[in-house]
Amino acid sequence: MSTLFLRTLREDPADAEVPSHKLLVRAGLVRRVAPGVFTWLPLGYLVYRNVERIVREEMDAAGFQEVHFPALLPREPYEATGRWTEYGETLMRLQDRKGADYLLGPTHEEMFTLLVKGEYSSYKDLPLVIYQIQTKYRDEARPRAGILRGREFVMKDSYSFDIDDEGLQRSYDRHRDAYIKTFDRLGLDYVIVSAMSGAMGGSASEEFLAPCESGEDTFVRSDGGYAANVEAVVTVPPAEVPIEGLPAAHVEDTPDTPTIESLVDLANARFPRADRPWTAADTLKNVVLRLEHPDGTTSALVVGLPGDREVDMKRLEAQVSPAVPSPFEEADFAAYPQLVKGYIGPQVLGEDRGIPYLVDPRVVSGTAWITGANEQGKHVFDLVCGRDFTPDGTIEAAEVRDGDPAPDGSGALHSARGIEIGHIFQLGRKYAEALDLTVLDENGKSRVVTMGSYGIGVSRAVAAIAEQHHDDKGLIWPREVAPADVHIVATGKDAAVFEKAEELAIALEDEGLRVLYDDRKVSPGVKFNDSELLGVPTIVVVGKRLVDGMIEIKDRASGDREEVELTAAIPAILAACGR
Amino acid sequence: MSTLFLRTLREDPADAEVPSHKLLVRAGLVRRVAPGVFTWLPLGYLVYRNVERIVREEMDAAGFQEVHFPALLPREPYEATGRWTEYGETLMRLQDRKGADYLLGPTHEEMFTLLVKGEYSSYKDLPLVIYQIQTKYRDEARPRAGILRGREFVMKDSYSFDIDDEGLQRSYDRHRDAYIKTFDRLGLDYVIVSAMSGAMGGSASEEFLAPCESGEDTFVRSDGGYAANVEAVVTVPPAEVPIEGLPAAHVEDTPDTPTIESLVDLANARFPRADRPWTAADTLKNVVLRLEHPDGTTSALVVGLPGDREVDMKRLEAQVSPAVPSPFEEADFAAYPQLVKGYIGPQVLGEDRGIPYLVDPRVVSGTAWITGANEQGKHVFDLVCGRDFTPDGTIEAAEVRDGDPAPDGSGALHSARGIEIGHIFQLGRKYAEALDLTVLDENGKSRVVTMGSYGIGVSRAVAAIAEQHHDDKGLIWPREVAPADVHIVATGKDAAVFEKAEELAIALEDEGLRVLYDDRKVSPGVKFNDSELLGVPTIVVVGKRLVDGMIEIKDRASGDREEVELTAAIPAILAACGR
């Protein structure tokens, strides 16, 4: 450590919010170069390379074949699939000296599809899985959390090519198994959740999420075993109600009711119902949104949902992608005089009236609502879906709440946060069709190949491990990803201590252990603090007890300490390292 | 091989000119994505990773520490050193969604300097060598020769940081030694040549060149052991001549002498000299050039050199860098009426006359010349340097010719071509000064750090190895970089052959060999051709001789074949693999 390029920091960096970011910087493992762009320092790069090695070993063990694409890619293939435009500002674009358009690959579906198209032509060539571990670029609007969400990052991305859906399912299952092995070896705690496909377009999809408070993804699970990305949760709709016999709709004066709460209070005071009080869930809130489409045009969308729920923008985004939703502004309202802010009702909405109207799945036929009467200070009561209004369809845009039922009947949902560390995804034929990847089947007929895409955030996994493996003193690396097996701390000023410590370091390296040896001339306090901050799993102290022939072995995770005779040190340390 | 993602080609690709490009494509190791941008396929990536591993092992063995920078870099540090502009169109630039300027790193001097500045502050921290193996970008005007000169490529770049010049020399020597070990292991034949620093600015510098006909770099060597990049060759000047007593200059009519040859003919016919005939070497040719400076401005430069030599544009470029020279155009001449095309003489040249004038080192004081008289159809004879004209200085811009003397007196030079595979370079204080990298010395005084930079073309090395190791049938990989140790070819249709071949493959893998097994249902001819094209060093044929219990072991490089009993196959193959 006296020559190691390492400077640990006592203080958290000012721009760091999440534990992994703070600790990776404080432990001298990474340094920031620009927003979302980081440099790995020696110990950090050792950890990174361990993670990369484990990912590669598990991919190879699964029989997948490694290739390596450039990051600098021509525009044309991404133009063919529409993603040159769809990716919007997230795609990093540049021109070469001749003015030709290039991009920095955010993901490589197009390139893999074209590569296979160039080499293969027969069903006999399939199935095929090829993968790469490669640097990717996404110009995130808000790069945050250090290397958890960077703009330059390393992904393992694989792609499967099959002749039919059964083959795709097998390739998908092989990846699922390989991912389980990979994340187990990485020491990550994770859940596998059903996921939306988002902008990718396709069918079956699951995410591997590492539960942790600083995760960007919210997911829900039930005690009965259901788990899903919030974007993927399907609402359990209530039963439809027969329309016959329901009271007729009636408009009422409802002055000074700008909020749902004030409306419910007024309803209970002036129009009380016999069976129970009105609640926010009896109101139908109509939220107007602005959609910006990839081609730059905008349109309006109204989402109707029970007044006791808010629109979840991430769920909404997943539904309307590639369009990007944002709140309706005053200027937007000016263009739609029929929308009376605060009093919008379904009667003026719908595609045939120029404003698409989608409702929460709870708004089923026969449900009666208090909602806006499209007139200042007036609401309509007993407005019945399917009788008084017909939405253009439903949309999964309402927030999911703890206690909501799981769609599979496995109990109540509760939410948690996680980091997306892996994603497996049945792409289907979208890319193969767009880029004309076909093979001849056994009858000599041309068939479009079906594909899957599968990602692991390799650099992100380092941060995810740090999020799950630390305490208030520092990092606690799982052994296989740790920068070393043993951290030898020599304390004091006695030359004999440093001599013995160095002999021990050499002997342990000869045994095949990876050793970090702190030979610096600094105080024991500094050394102990650094050893806890760096998080090597086994710490060996060679210090003042050496006069009695004793050294100390400490387990970083449990804090357990054990004194052993120097003469028995090597087998004891090997045992502590699980050897 | 029946499931390997590999398709070999019979024909050379149309766009390939050099052997490595042809063979790497034909053997299915790489595929082109865009000009100068390639994808590695499975066997190619194995070779690439072997090269990368060897480079890393030798860097680590030398005690250098690995870090990893991003490729996406902010503009500011490159602005501070002037390289944002100096790199010109070779630098790939882009903007992020907020309009901030970024570049794709062509080399990382600035970033390493800033990193060390951020962590270190004392002479006690030095010396330090840190390196990375990382993807670089250069927008070459003419990307060519496949991965020999790409626009996206992988380099190992290291940087040394020392307190003084002696330290820098030691760091430089450590790199030189490490490079020798690295290139020896890679199986590359190479020469170490003195090199110009070019745009980098600095002092001592050597290149490792792999001699080969398709190399882009011309270098020269003498039988006595001198070797230098052509740009670095220093001319041996003749002795100065006493001016006293030399004949006076005289202008003569020389009609119809547009070329040096016609001028010499006319001189010999009309003004013969007594001692010997005039030759082109008696004429002083003045070549006018246009320099384009990094800030976009242009200026004129005249280079005077003996008429028997041409200007070598690469030597000239190295001298005037970062300015870029080009021939003077008609329009340029219009701006300088004093320059009479074909009859330019030194009398109108010189900085004080607005046209900088530099001469070849052979133009020493007292040499007398036939040169232009700055008048149509007239030349001046006996124009003596140091008496009749005084150039602004000398420039090493004349071509180096076979037979020229080596500057160290080691004999005549002869030229060869090579691929630059490594470069070691004493940068000195240029970057440290520009970016203010200082440390406190033992007296507490601030000292600017001195740096070295050291590169190895990692992806290029794969192509260089292919250039040096192939024959007309295909590649011949040195064992340590080969995609496999043994290529087992099973021929025929006999199931027993395939059974034995597979058993043998498994047994050899158990022995630690890397095995490529050709189990395809194709003709023996196709298999033999592919085995020679792919270039695995040891080829084992399991075929029709198996009925007699025999297999064949073939050495790809020598072509030597040996029949061995199947029962003795494993030790024989291990021996063939040098085990």
Per residue in A427-463, pLDDT tens? 999 999 999 999 999 999 999 999 999 999 999 999 9
Whether residues A263 and A333 share a domain: the answer is yes
| Mean pLDDT value of segment B40-66 | 98
- What's the mean pLDDT when you consider all of chain A? 94
- Most A CBs within 10 Å, among B26, B38, B39, to test the A interface: B39
Whether residues A275 and A178 share a domain: the answer is no
Residue A472 lies in a domain: no
> CATH code at A148?
3.30.930.10
Q: What percent of chain B has pLDDT over 90?
A: 86
- Whether the CB of A31 is below 8 Å from some CB of chain B: the reply is yes
Is the model's pLDDT at A202 over the cut of 70? no
The beta-carbon neighbor of B5 closest among A34, A74, A119 is A119
Distance from CA of B65 to the nearest CA of A (A): 6
Q: Could you tell me how many CB contacts below 8 A there are between chain A and chain B?
A: 132
Bridge pairing between strands B152-162 and B450-457: antiparallel
- The string of pLDDT tens digits covering residues A462-490 is 999 999 999 999 999 999 999 999 999 99
Is the model's pLDDT at B274 over the cut of 50? yes
Domain boundary among B394, B422, B437: B394
pLDDT of residue A199: 41
- Whether the CB of B31 is below 8 Å from some CB of chain A: the reply is yes
Is the model's pLDDT at B22 over the cut of 80? yes
- The string of pLDDT tens digits covering residues B517-545 is 999 999 999 999 999 999 999 999 999 99
Residue A346 DSSP one-character state: G
* B153 contacts in chain A (CB < 8 Å): none
Whether residues B201 and B294 share a domain: the answer is no
pLDDT of residue A201: 42
Q: How far apart are CA B32 and CA B39, in angstroms?
A: 6
At A552, the amino acid letter reads: E
Q: Do B41 and A67 touch (CB under 8 A)?
A: yes
| Mean pLDDT value of segment A325-344 | 90
The pLDDT-based confidence of A197 (bands split at 50, 70, 90) is low
Whether residues A499 and A566 share a domain: the answer is yes
C-alpha count within 13 angstroms, C-beta hemisphere, residue B567 = 3
> CATH code at B380?
3.90.960.10
Is the model's pLDDT at A111 over the cut of 50? yes
Distance from CA of B127 to the nearest CA of A (A): 9
> CATH code at A512?
3.40.50.800
CA-based nearest residue in chain A for residue B92: A96
Q: Do A34 and B72 touch (CB under 8 A)?
A: yes
The beta-carbon neighbor of B65 closest among A39, A42, A69 is A42
- What's the mean pLDDT when you consider all of chain B? 94
Q: How far apart are CA B175 and CA B159, in angstroms?
A: 10
Distance from CA of A463 to the nearest CA of B (A): 16
Is the model's pLDDT at B183 over the cut of 90? yes
Residue A231 lies in a domain: no
pLDDT of residue B216: 86
Residue B242 lies in a domain: no
* A48 contacts in chain B (CB < 8 Å): 68
Residue B3 lies in a domain: no
Count of structural domains within chain A: 3
Whether residues B531 and B560 share a domain: the answer is yes
Whether residues B228 and B257 share a domain: the answer is no
Whether residues A433 and A499 share a domain: the answer is no
Partners of B383 in the beta sheet? B369
pLDDT of residue B202: 45
The beta-carbon neighbor of B94 closest among A31, A41, A94 is A94
Residues 6+ apart with CB under 8 A from B144: B17, B36
DSSP for A153-207, written as a single string: EEEEEEEEEESSHHHHHHHHHHHHHHHHHHHHHTT---EEEE---GGG--S-EEE
Whether residues A196 and A297 share a domain: the answer is no
The pLDDT-based confidence of A198 (bands split at 50, 70, 90) is very low
Whether residues A454 and A522 share a domain: the answer is no
H helix runs in B454-561, sequence order: 458-468, 495-510, 524-534
pLDDT of residue B469: 97
Place of tokens 């929460």: A360
Whether residues B72 and B216 share a domain: the answer is yes
Residue B239 lies in a domain: no
Show the CA angle centred on residue B441, arms to residues B437 and B443, nearest 5°: 145
Q: Is the bond preceding residue B127 a cis peptide, omega within 30 degrees?
A: yes
- The string of pLDDT tens digits covering residues B321-358 is 889 999 998 888 888 989 998 899 999 999 999 999 99
* A69 contacts in chain B (CB < 8 Å): 33, 39
Q: How far apart are CA A422 and CA A471, in angstroms?
A: 25
Q: Do A40 and B68 touch (CB under 8 A)?
A: yes
Q: Residue B553: which domain range?
A: 484-576
pLDDT of residue B17: 87
Distance from CA of B97 to the nearest CA of A (A): 6
The beta-carbon neighbor of A72 closest among B4, B70, B152 is B152
pLDDT of residue A144: 77
- The string of pLDDT tens digits covering residues A405-426 is 999 899 999 999 999 999 999 9
In B61-120, the residues whose Cβ lies within 8 Å of chain A are 63, 65-74, 89-90, 92-94, 96-97, 100, 102, 104, 111, 115, 118-120
Q: Do B70 and A137 touch (CB under 8 A)?
A: no
Count the residues in chain A.
Answer: 579
Whether residues A451 and A359 share a domain: the answer is no
Q: What percent of chain A has pLDDT over 90?
A: 86
Residue A137 lies in a domain: yes
| Mean pLDDT value of segment B222-250 | 92
* A151 contacts in chain B (CB < 8 Å): 72, 96
pLDDT of residue A15: 85
Q: Do B70 and A38 touch (CB under 8 A)?
A: yes
Q: How far apart are CA B128 and CA B450, in angstroms?
A: 11
- pTM for the model stands at 0.85
Residue B4 lies in a domain: no
pLDDT of residue A360: 97
* B5 contacts in chain A (CB < 8 Å): 65, 67, 119, 128, 130
At B281, the amino acid letter reads: A
Q: How far apart are CA B195 and CA B172, in angstroms?
A: 14
Q: Do B42 and A66 touch (CB under 8 A)?
A: yes
Residue A353 lies in a domain: yes
CA-based nearest residue in chain B for residue A1: B125
* B134 contacts in chain A (CB < 8 Å): none
Whether residues B439 and B386 share a domain: the answer is no
pLDDT of residue B201: 42
- The string of pLDDT tens digits covering residues A257-277 is 889 999 999 999 999 999 999
Place of tokens 């004066």: A253
CB–CB of B55/B158 below 8 Å? no
